Structure 1
Amino acid sequence: MIHFYRFREGMKTLGVLDAIRMHPDAFRPLFCHEPSPLTADVLEQLFEIRLSAVGRNKRRAEECVVAFWRDYLLDVEEQEGPLQLGGILAFATGANDIPPLGFSPLPSVVFLHELPLRQGRHLPNTNTCIN
């Protein structure tokens, strides 16, 4: 609690605290994070896509999947799909919005070719604990 009082006393210096009290809406963006709206482009740029080396057979299949991923994001943005973009982000990261400081590490799309074939393996997996 002592840190709060020191912070408040520091804000009184040069009249900053009084200015905040008089114009709280002007100072709100400095103290409160307002998440920007999610778009298909924002999500596409947010995810790091890890492709196989150029020239490998796996790479062609991965590029096809990436094209479907981009189409899916656009469909969801246009509300043709059953999800909202925040739901996709929540599935992949556990967060409905991009945090103020971003993600570290960035969410990624990784292709798991090495796993043995089994029922349902073609569905996406996620690890929300990493962020």
Structure 2
Amino acid sequence: MSAQEDQTRIRLLVCDGDMLNKLEAQLATANKDVSFYEREIAKHQRTLAVLRDWISDAEPRRAQLQLSIARQNEELSLHGRNLPFPPEILGYIFEQLTHEPDPKWEDFTNLRTAFNAERVRCPFNLAALCRQWRQIALATSSII
């Protein structure tokens, strides 16, 4: 072997050594990252297990609450169908409610044109109670 070949081999050896050192540093970093992410995955898997347990415990309770709400809505709608008075009488009662005097305007009780905040809100309050009352309130033109 010649001196020039030895020089080339030495440069190649130094270059390969540098590359090996860089690669080993990158591998060490990658291994640290893998360990970190494995710990993170394990932590998230534990969190997932807790959440799945909570969901499996909560779903039956949700079903019970949905059933209870459905039963209550059914009871209320069945009860609402049996109005205590015919719609005409309820309409008349609604009309009388809208003509009540406003306590803030007691000095002007003789004036039917005086502003009455309660009288203005009354049709909306009545219409908000249930579908049947809303239909009766909207059908009673004297309160709107």
TM-score (norm 1): 0.23
Higher helix share: 2
Higher strand share: 1
Structure with higher Rg: it is 2
Higher relative contact order (CA 8 A, sep 6+): 1
TM-score (norm 2): 0.21
